[in-house]
Amino acid sequence: MDNYINITTPIYYTNGQPHIGHVYTTILVDVYKKFYELMGFHARMATGTDEHGLKILKTATSMGITPQELVDKVSGSFKSYWQQMGVSFDDYIRTTETRHISMAQRFWEYLVQKGDIYLGQYDGLYCLSCEQYYKESELLEGNICPIHERPCEHITEESYFFKLSKYQDQLLDYLQSHPDFIQPAIRRNEILGFLENEQLQDISISRNTFDWGIPVPNDNTHVMYVWFDALINYISSLGGPESADYKNYWTNTIHFIGKDILRFHAVYWPAMLIALDLPLPKAIVAHGWWNIGDKKISKSNQNASMSLAEIIDRVSIDGLRFYLTSGLSLERDGNFDYHQLVDTINSNLSNNLGNLFNRLIVLSSKYFGGVLDYVQHGQEVDDEWTEAILKKAYELRQQYIESMTRFRHFEALGNVMQYCALLNEYITTKEPWKIIKDPQRKNEVLLVLSNIAEGLRWVANLIHPFIPGIANKMNNSLFHQDGFEMPESFSRGRYEVTNNEVLFQRLVNDA
Ligand code: MSP
């Protein structure tokens, strides 16, 4: 099933509202989903919420509501953000849904029968924010969690364990023979190093001190550990191993995650799948963090002066999407800076792309009544530029596909912006507003504007995954295409201006 692809976000905890960190992963997944659509794939995107565990129970209790009330509210809020942001998810999975609960219980029973789950005693240090046990050696002085910088709790309890240790060699073999399974390379090396140097311990996968979780089959004193059930969402979302979606999509699945949850996805989840006798997904792609003041953006560390809603309100959805996807490779962390955001989108969306598009619309309306319909009469007058624009368009497409296939979206987007800069150079060099004064040369102006229109049609298609709102505006104003597609041939057509609103309003950097 080569032209099927399923791309997933992690499912987000419902103990707080979405922030820039969540937006980043979701937008990245949406960019790749839309890219694969351009490429003609059956592309599917799944996202959703992770609704069990102690953290959520404690938040609900402190708010004086039931955990179910809390998760209903927060899950709805995540979903409506994604809808508002133009994210085209195909499934929104919640771990409190029956389809997921029954899948997690079924998988649990399978592992019990296989002898991979056993009852034991857990004694360890737990970070509530990570919902994860740590070894003392992994913590900062005073048993402080290195990610949340909060003390871990000492927990001793009866627990079911998953025999992770049994799968160490198989995992290592798999990673060694599948170099693209974990990306980028820096993350693959991290996991390889971990598997080569550490003896894997069995992991605790149940809790018996609270009941906000999926009941363990045949033991009503335990609920499943939130991470055990959460990872299974990726298969519940497809309808389980017998479903047609699973058959088409499962081995073509890419999990996008933040580097904070790499070990769960690159060690625990593959081991669970091997134990379940199921194939592994295609790849796990981990990105870095957005920080504020060198600390990861989180529920408690956000831009204090501006909420996510306010940021969107000020810079627009496309503005935020552009900023988050244009500057960072997956390997790097970024510092979220409002002023830099405004500068980035002003120079790219308002100056570079926006001005060019609006200029084209204005000149086309003024000189040609809004209709560009170039017909070649013998030799073209500006062969050189025409050639350059055309050649660059084909190069751009090839580079774009290569970059996107290697998860270098920032590079793909950067190249599209450079192409816009070239089109800008073309128009300022040719100065059609001067040539038009000579009535003999009207056709030459028509050629310049048509070349730019065709170049911008390519741009609109290629930026659609990143900034769908702007691509749609361009389409509605001038191209009137039926959806977006990977442009095939650079051939000037007929372009008719039907709308002349400004493509992207320049922002004032005033916050
Ligand atoms: N519920 C788990 C995931 C289970 S997946 C089977 C979880 N949820 S979370 O809400 O805490 O965050 C999930 C993801 O949000 C992170 O992995 C990451 O993709 C994204 N981010 C959260 N904060 C982030 C930043 N500050 N920067 C970038 N991404 C971050 O973990």
**What pLDDT, on the 0 to 100 scale, is given for residue 42?**
98
Boundary-marking domain end, from 280, 303, 326:
303
Ligand 1 neighbourhood includes 353 CB (under 6 angstroms)? no
Q: Given the CA of residue 290, which atom of ligand 1 is nearest to it? A: 27
State whether 152 and 213 are in the same domain. yes
Distance between Cα 260 and ligand 1 center (Å): 7
Q: Over 364-420, what HEC string results?
A: HHHHHCCEEECCCCCCCCCHHHHHHHHHHHHHHHHHHHHHHHCCCHHHHHHHHHHHH
Q: Does the CB atom of residue 12 touch ligand 1 within 6 A?
A: yes
| 144 inside domain | yes
* CATH label of the domain that carries residue 182: 3.40.50.620
274-301: per-residue pLDDT in tens?
A: 999 999 999 999 999 999 988 888 887 7
Q: What is the mean pLDDT of residues 368-374?
A: 95
Q: Based on the domain organization, do 256 and 348 belong to the same domain?
A: no
pLDDT at 377: 72
| Token code pair at residue 390 | 């055309």
| Ligand 1 in reach of 260 Cβ (< 6 A) | yes
- Looking at the fold, whether 153 and 297 belong to one and the same domain comes out as yes
Structural domain contains residue 38:
yes
Percent of the chain with pLDDT over 90: 85
Same domain membership, residue 213 and residue 113: yes
pLDDT band at 265 (very low <50, low <70, confident <90, very high): very high
**Is the distance from the beta carbon of residue 71 to the nearest atom of ligand 1 less than 6 Å?**
no
Check whether residue 79 and residue 207 sit in a common domain: yes
User: Quick check: CB of 412 below 6 Å from ligand 1?
Assistant: no
Q: Is the Cβ atom of 10 under 6 angstroms away from ligand 1?
A: yes
- Asked if residue 297 has its Cβ within 6 Å of ligand 1, the reply is yes
Protein residue with its CA nearest to atom 16 in ligand 1 = 258
What CA–CA distances, in Å, run from 388 to 397, 414, 459? 14, 19, 16
Q: Is 289 in the pocket of ligand 1 (CB under 6 A)?
A: yes
261 lines ligand 1 (CB under 6 A): yes
Give domain status of residue 43, yes or no: yes
Residue 332 lies inside a defined structural domain of this protein: no
Express each pLDDT in 204-230 by its tens digit.
999 999 999 999 999 999 999 999 999
Ligand 1 atom nearest the C-alpha of 269 is 6
Q: Is 222 in the pocket of ligand 1 (CB under 6 A)?
A: no
Q: pLDDT tens, 70-108?
A: 999 999 999 999 999 999 999 999 999 999 999 999 999
**Residues 190 and 238 both lie in one domain:** yes
Indicate if 294 and 194 belong to the same structural domain. Answer: yes
Nearest residue (CA) to ligand 1, atom 24: 21
**Domain identity same for 352 and 275:** no
Return the residue matching tokens 């059609």: 432
Residue pointed to by tokens 């298969």: 235
* Gap from CA of 286 to ligand 1 centroid (Å): 11
Q: How far is the CA of 493 from the centre of ligand 1 (A)?
A: 45
Q: Is the CB of 235 under 6 A from ligand 1?
A: no
Structural contact between residues 144 and 152, judged by C-beta atoms closer than 8 angstroms:
yes
Among protein residues, the one with the nearest Cα to ligand 1's atom 18 is 258
> What pLDDT is attached to residue 499?
87
Residue 428 domain boundaries: 338-496
Q: Do 362 and 254 belong together in one domain?
A: no
Mutate to test the pocket of ligand 1, among 22, 92, 187 (most ligand atoms within 8 A of CB): 22
Q: In this structure, is residue 295 part of a structural domain?
A: yes
Which phi-psi region, left, alpha or beta, contains residue 17 (left: φ > 0; alpha: ψ -120 to 50)?
beta
Name which of 201, 216, 112 is nearest 158 in CA terms.
Answer: 216
Q: Answer yes or no: is pLDDT of 304 > 70.
A: no
pLDDT at 182: 98
Protein residue with least CA distance to atom 19, ligand 1: 258
Q: Which of helix, strand or coil describes residue 17?
A: coil
Q: What is the mean pLDDT of residues 99-123?
A: 96
CATH of the domain at 469: 1.10.730.10
pLDDT at 343: 96
| Residue to mutate (ligand 1; options 257, 295, 301, 330; most atoms within 8 A of CB) | 257
Residue at 502 is within a domain: no
Mean pLDDT of the chain: 94
Helix (H) or strand (E) holding 118: strand 117-127
The verdict on residue 508 lying in a domain is: no
Residues 28, 325: Cα–Cα separation, whole Å: 7
**Residue 460, both tokens:** 């609109």
CB distance 117 to 111 below 8 Å: yes
Give the end of a domain, one of 276, 303, 330.
303
pTM: 0.95
Number of domains in the chain: 2
The residue whose CA has the least distance to atom 5 of ligand 1 is 10
Is 161 near ligand 1, meaning CB less than 6 Å away? no
Question: Same structural domain for residues 413 and 486?
Answer: yes
Residue with CA nearest ligand 1 atom 29: 21
> Is residue 256 in contact with ligand 1, taking CB distance under 6 Å?
no
Q: What gap in Å lies between CA 103 and CA 458, rounded to an integer? A: 44
pLDDT category at 194 given cuts 50, 70, 90 is very high
In a domain, 109, yes or no: yes
Cis peptide before 465 (omega within 30 of 0): no
The answer to whether residues 261 and 350 belong to one domain is no
Ligand 1 center from residue 22 Cα (angstroms): 6
Is residue 11 domain-shared with residue 121, that is, in the same domain?
yes
